[in-house]
Structure formats: C-alpha cells, structure tokens
Amino acid sequence: MLRRTLLATAAAASMALTGAAMADGHEKTKACFVYVGPIGDGGWTYQHHQGALAVQEEFGDKVEIAYQESVPEGADAERVLTQMALSGCNIIFTTSFGYMDATNAVAAKFPDIKFEHATGYKREHPNVSTYDARFYEGRAVVGHIAGRMTKTNKIGYIASFPIPEVIQGINSYFHHAKKANPDVELVVTWVYTWFDPAKEADAARAMIDQGVDVITAHTDSTAPLAEAAKEGGKVIGFGQASDMAGFMTNDDGTPGPRVASIIDNWNPYYIKRVKAVMDGTWEQGASWAGMPEGEVVIGEMTDVIPADVQAEVNEMIAAITAGTYHPFTGPINKQDGSAWLADGEVADDGTLAGMKFYIEGITGDIPQ
C-alpha cells in the first residue's frame, strides 16, 4: 500500500515536471540539424550550418539550436535522430540524401515533431517535408565556363553517388560545356563518398594526370581545389556548395584554381520553416528552389575568366534567375541517341527528380 502511494506520488511529480518542461518548450522553439560531415568542411555542411546560425540570429532568444556533425548515413542516423527527438527538438533538419529512410522511420514514432529532409523524395508521414535546391542551374553556369576555358578539351567531374541529384549535375554541366565547345569530352570519376579529402584529392590527381584541366566536384571538401592548385595555374576548378574563396589566390599571390563557385544558400528556407513551426502554420511540403529564390548563388568570378566569358555567364545567370531560360531545354537526346526533349521543350520536374540516364555525348555508364 505504502509502496503504491509512493509510486503514484512519483508519477504525479514526474508528470508535473514534464508539463513544466513542455510549457517551457513552447516558449522556446528548438531547431535541430543533422550533418553528414564536420561543420568545418568548407563546403556542404558548412553552408547548412550557416543556415542554422542565420536562424539563431533571426529569432535570437526565441529559438535554441542543436546540431550533430559527421553522422554516418545508415543505422547510426536513426539513433541520432531518435535521441534528438527525445531531447525536445521541435523541428529536425536532416541534411543529406542518405538520411531519407531514417528520417521517415523516426518521423513515424514522433508525429508531433516536424522533420525536414534535404535532397530526398520520400514523404511517408504528414510530419515529413523535403527540400532541395536546383543545383543543376549552378552546374549549367560552371559547365559553360568549363567549356570556354578548357585547353585540353577534357573536363572532369568528381561524382559521389549515382543518385538523381548528382546525375542532373553531370548532365547539366556537360550539356552547357558542349554548347560552348563542341569538342569537349567529359571524364566522370565515382568516389562513393560525400566527404573523404584523401580520396577526393586522389580522384582529382588521376584526372589531372590524364589531361583534364577543369575539375568540378560533387563532394564536400576543398581537397580537389587543393590538388588543382599544385598544377600552378594549368588546372582550374570551382567552389562547390560554399564559396571556397580561400582558393582564389595561391600563397604566393598568383591566381588560384578557384575561378567561380556554386553556393548553396539555405538561410531563407531555414528561417521560413522555423518561423512556420513557431507560428503553428507548418505544413508538409516539397520545396525545390533555385536561382530565382536565391537558394543557388554563383560566387564571384576571378580575373582568370576573360571578360567576354564573364559577360556570357552573367547573361545566363540573369536568364535563369528571371525564369526565361531552363538549363534543360531541348533539343537534348539521351545517351543511346533516343530523343528526350524536342526543340524548345523544357524538362519537367518529375523526370529531373528521378533522373537515371546520361544525355548524348557522355561516355561510360552510370554505376547501378
């Protein structure tokens, strides 16, 4: 009897405590972020963290930010997400494609918490949204630069995983390089990692040794640019995900390998979604914004790029931003020569989001 009373008292006390914590939680919204690499990677994760900091700055004391770095894609992600959900997060951003299944699995267990998954396509529960940026718009711009700048007519692409987002990038990059320079040839190297500087550097080196003189990376570190810098100006590359302005000039003052960059700017989206949670207006959605919304930005071009090329690039950026030019505008054929887009036809989002084929002129196969 006595024991039962004790238990009841304990239960009541703990309920009171939870109640207090919840009341407190409503005053302060907690936004949590899961990162695939370290925030100091200088690329992808760094930009997401900038977005998190922007949220903090926008709302000040009203929000609390929590994040975890270098979370592997796989079983570990589910554990981290569950832990975050239990620690009182109101909205959780999972910032890599490989968190897709983990995000949906954890979302099923915590229907009151909002989940936002970057670059994925699965929204199995009403509390899961997806968001992505039209990186292929940026790839189109750097592809044009690559086509105009290459002297060996061989351009390289360090690819991470064979997922639609990466294939869109490869196709867009090649399509615009080819338009600028019909003789251009594309070399794709798959490294099967988002972040492994040693491997990224090795891949860049292998391509440079084979005569590639413009390198684009779809991985997160600055290592490919560091490798290109060793060639003393003969090889150029682009900042990826972040500006990577540190590679604009070398230590000795000569122009560095980074001639432009594709910057992911997540700040507007993160601020908008956290605000929606605070106001109670959050709804499931699938955001896919690009240059017009300011989510994809081209970083400052260096003087290594001639003025006439810069003018062409600026024109292209203006056209994409205004919505008058879509990077995938026909005529474009698939790799096997069959027709994909007729003259003037524009690719629809559904095809792009599930893109699993190369366009005509790219050699090699997409790994299965």
Partner 1 sequence: MDLSAISPTLLIAFLMVAATPILLAAIGELVVEKAGVLNLGVEGMMITGAICGFAVAVETGSPVLGFIAAAIGGAILSMIFGVLTQFFLTNQVATGLALTLFGLGLSSLLGQSYVGIKPPGTAKIDIPVLSDILVAGPILFNHDWMVYFTLALVVAIWWVLKFSRMGLIIRAVGENHDAAHALGYKVVRVRLMAIAFGGACAGLGGGYLSLIRVPQWTDGMTAGAGWIALAIVVFASWKPLRVLLGAYLFGGVTILQLNLQAAGLAIPVEYLSMSPYVITIVVLVIMSAPRKGRASLAAPACLGRAFHASS
Of residues 160, 156, 159, the one with CA closest to residue 185: 156
Work out whether 53 is an interface residue with partner 1 (CB under 8 A): no
* Minimum distance of partner 1 from residue 243's CB (angstroms): 13
* Minimum distance of partner 1 from residue 302's CB (angstroms): 17
Work out whether 368 is an interface residue with partner 1 (CB under 8 A): yes
Among the listed residues 27, 61, 183, 251, the single contact to partner 1 using CB under 8 A = 251
If one counts every other C-beta atom within 10 angstroms of the C-beta of residue 50, the result is 17
Among the listed residues 14, 210, 284, 314, the single contact to partner 1 using CB under 8 A = 210
Question: How many Å apart are CA 127 and CA 282, to the nearest integer?
Answer: 9
* Phi, psi at 14, each rounded to 5°: -70, -35
List beta partners, residue 98: none
The owner of tokens 């897709």 is 100
Among the listed residues 13, 17, 22, 40, the single contact to partner 1 using CB under 8 A = 40
Work out whether 197 is an interface residue with partner 1 (CB under 8 A): yes
Q: Spell 276-307 as b/e; 16+ CB within 10 A means b.
A: bbbeeebeeeebbbbbeeebbbbbebbebbee
> Which residue, 132 or 196, has its beta carbon nearer to partner 1?
196
Among the listed residues 205, 268, 319, 329, the single contact to partner 1 using CB under 8 A = 205
Work out whether 163 is an interface residue with partner 1 (CB under 8 A): no
| Dihedral, CA of residue 245, residue 251, residue 255 and residue 258, to nearest 10 | -30
Stretch touching partner 1 by CB under 8 A, among 13-21, 121-129, 209-217, 348-356: 209-217
- Tell me 71's DSSP state: P
Among the listed residues 52, 142, 201, 217, the single contact to partner 1 using CB under 8 A = 201
> Residues interacting with partner 1, by CB under 8 A?
38-42, 46, 70, 156, 187, 189-190, 192, 195-199, 201-203, 205-207, 209-212, 221-223, 226, 246, 251, 363-365, 367-368
